[in-house]
Amino acid sequence: MADEVHADEVPWLDHEELHAWMHLVALVEALPAALDAQLKRDAGINRFEYMILVGLSESPDRTMAMSQLALAATGSLSRMSHAVSRLASKGWVERRAAGTGRQMDVRLTDTGFARLEEIAPGHVREARRLVVDVLGRDDLLALGRSARSVLQTVSPGFAEALEEAHQRVAGGGHPGA
Amino acid sequence: MADEVHADEVPWLDHEELHAWMHLVALVEALPAALDAQLKRDAGINRFEYMILVGLSESPDRTMAMSQLALAATGSLSRMSHAVSRLASKGWVERRAAGTGRQMDVRLTDTGFARLEEIAPGHVREARRLVVDVLGRDDLLALGRSARSVLQTVSPGFAEALEEAHQRVAGGGHPGA
DNA sequence: CCCTTTGAGTTGAATGTTCAAGTGAATGCT
DNA sequence: AGCATTCACTTGAACATTCAACTCAAAGGG
């Protein structure tokens, strides 16, 4: 007992660390909001729906099973189901029963593909305007490395999925998110 | 016309930039979710409500006007109003009509203050576990600087509010996050 | 065979956020 | 004094996300 570590004593952050932390927290709050706002404004969708479209567009046949897609866009099946319903009601994707069991394939329609091609440049431009061009290449890559480290702790599954996707493409393709 | 810049041609990101970007996007998606999850689980509140409590606790008299608080926690007045209603129904804060006009003061109750003191260490611990201890001091500060740059473009008002808060405290205090 | 389990999705209610509209006090104009 | 505006906030509906419950098909076990 006596030499047990006081696990509930948490060392506070010093002044500079706190300052950095607050900026980070502000960023993770504001950046997604800004990206969502651009997509909403210009395309009427949110980031999650955009990632669904991108995921499908990169996939052979522009088709993926719900569960694969949920993995790729890292959302729950439920969230995916709701989102696909929204996109389907716009005619951008369609559901089709697939081979076995209860499995469903989602396919990006021609309309959906055409819309994505219109949408993507604006989103990349926004990514450049808000982040890439502000930081410059070196700082961006450094930021990426830090993000990767943190992500491995925060959400190992997410991090792994990202590495895999990275291995798979290696070449060009669509703007991954 | 002939020498007009093609404003709609967007240079794509190269392979490494894209990789960094995807990690950043993943981070800004996953980190807020993780912080929210910890607060929800251990305290039944979200980050925004936590920031309200922290803001009030740092303020003289543990009291702030709605609009000041909205500025400090960077949310809309509407969001603030809803959130304060939730916190008030738990008895953690109370509304009181203030001097002029329609202005309302929000005060952190003793119960609320006591709860915050219970909650804060766990949240700081989580911040350390997920970010601070993972990166180490140097990388954290670098990340903070990058976050600051980006934030200035993404949300100048937010960035400014943060600098001001930073000037004001200079000393110790509660975990501003 | 029947029964249980697992896998893959869907559905609906609860929660939080936003957006548009409303409320009421103070202030400015004339 | 009378009226319009602005400020500071509240309210309620719409929307997205989560969570728990449900559906249905296929496998496995005995």
Q: CB of A82 within 8 A of CB of A39?
A: no
**Does the beta-carbon distance from A27 to B135 stay under 8 Å?**
no
- The pLDDT tens digits for A5-62 are 455 678 888 999 999 999 999 999 999 999 999 999 999 999 999 999 999 999 999 9
Closest Cβ–Cβ partner in A18, A35, A145 for B176: A18
Closest Cβ–Cβ partner in B122, B142, B151 for A27: B151
- Identify all chain B residues contacting A153, using CB atoms and an 8 Å cutoff: 129-131, 134
Q: CATH for A39-168?
A: 1.10.10.10
- Identify all chain B residues contacting A19, using CB atoms and an 8 Å cutoff: 144, 166
Mean of the per-residue pLDDT values of chain A? 89
pLDDT of A171 > 50? The answer is: no
Distance from CA of B168 to the nearest CA of A (A): 12
Tell me, what's the pLDDT at A10?
81
Tell me, what's the pLDDT at A127?
95
- Nearest one of B170, B83, B127 to A153, comparing CA atoms: B127
Structure tokens at B12: 């794509």
pTM: 0.89
- Identify all chain B residues contacting A27, using CB atoms and an 8 Å cutoff: 28, 147, 150-151, 154
pLDDT of A134 > 80? The answer is: yes
- The pLDDT tens digits for B17-27 are 999 999 999 99
- The pLDDT tens digits for B65-110 are 999 999 999 899 999 999 999 999 999 999 998 877 889 999 999 9
Q: How far is CA B105 from CA A40, A145, A165, B145, in A?
A: 34, 44, 51, 34
Q: What is the ipTM of this complex?
A: 0.88
State in Å, rounded, how far the first CA of chain A is from the last one: 51
Q: What mean pLDDT comes out for the span B54-64? A: 94
Tell me, what's the pLDDT at B8?
63
How much of chain A, in percent, has pLDDT values that exceed 90? 74
pLDDT of A174 > 90? The answer is: no
Q: What mean pLDDT comes out for the span A139-148? A: 97
SS3 annotation, B60-127: HHHEEEHHHHHHHCCCCHHHHHHHHHHHHHCCCEEEEECCCCCCEEEEECHHHHHHHHHHHHHHHHHH
pLDDT of A177 > 70? The answer is: no
Q: CB of A22 within 8 A of CB of B55?
A: no
- Nucleic chain C contacts, protein chain A, residues 62-121, CB cut-off 7 A: 65-67, 70, 77-78, 80-82, 84-85, 95, 98, 101-104
CA distance A75 to A69: 9
Distance from CA of A49 to the nearest CA of B (A): 14
How much of chain B, in percent, has pLDDT values that exceed 90? 74
**Does the beta-carbon distance from A147 to B23 stay under 8 Å?**
yes
pLDDT of B2 > 90? The answer is: no
Q: Which of B8, B21, B39, B71 has the highest number of chain A CBs within 10 A, making it the mutation to test binding with A?
A: B21
pLDDT of B12 > 90? The answer is: no
- Identify all chain B residues contacting A140, using CB atoms and an 8 Å cutoff: 17, 20-21
CA distance A35 to A121: 13
- CATH number 3.90.1150.10 given to B35-169: no
CA distance B17 to A9: 40
Q: Give the model's confidence band at B3: pLDDT under 50 very low, under 70 low, under 90 confident, else very high.
A: very low
CA distance A139 to A77: 35
Tell me, what's the pLDDT at B7?
54
- Nearest one of B159, B79, B67, B139 to B104, comparing CA atoms: B67
**Does the beta-carbon distance from A24 to B145 stay under 8 Å?**
no
How many CB contacts within 8 angstroms connect chain A with chain B?
202
What nucleotides of chain D have any atom within 7 angstroms of a protein Cβ? 7-12, 16-21, 23-27
